[in-house]
Amino acid sequence: MAGSWVAAAREQQVAAALEAVYAGVAREVEARGPVCWASGRCCNFKRAGHRLYVTGLEAAYAVLRAVRSVEREPGRWPLTVLDVERARAGGGCPYQEGNLCGAHASRPLGCRVYFCDRSAQAWQHALSERAMGEVRALHEAHAIVYRYGEWRGMLEAVAPLVSA
**Taking the domains of the chain in order of start, what are their residue ranges?**
2-163
- Separation between Cα atoms, residue 24 and residue 30, nearest integer Å: 10
Mean pLDDT computed over 89-95:
90
CB 29 within 8 Å of CB 128: no
Please, what sign has the CA dihedral across residues 78, 81, 83, 88? positive
Phi, psi for residue 53 in degrees, rounded to 5: -115, 140
Q: Is the pLDDT of residue 150 over 60?
A: yes
pLDDT, tens only, 65-88: 876 554 555 555 678 889 899 999
Q: What is the largest CA-CA distance in the chain?
A: 43
pLDDT, tens only, 23-58: 999 998 888 876 676 666 777 878 877 889 999 999
CA dihedral 93, 76, 29, 129 (to 10 degrees): -50
What pLDDT is attached to residue 149? 96
Q: How many Cα atoms occupy the beta-carbon half-sphere of 29 within 13 Å?
A: 22
CA 48-103-147 angle, 5° bins: 75
CB 148 within 8 Å of CB 53: yes
Q: Is the pLDDT of residue 118 over 90?
A: no
8-state DSSP, 146: P
Q: What is the CA radius of gyration of the chain?
A: 15
What pLDDT is attached to residue 40? 67
Closest CA to 60 of 2, 143, 128: 2
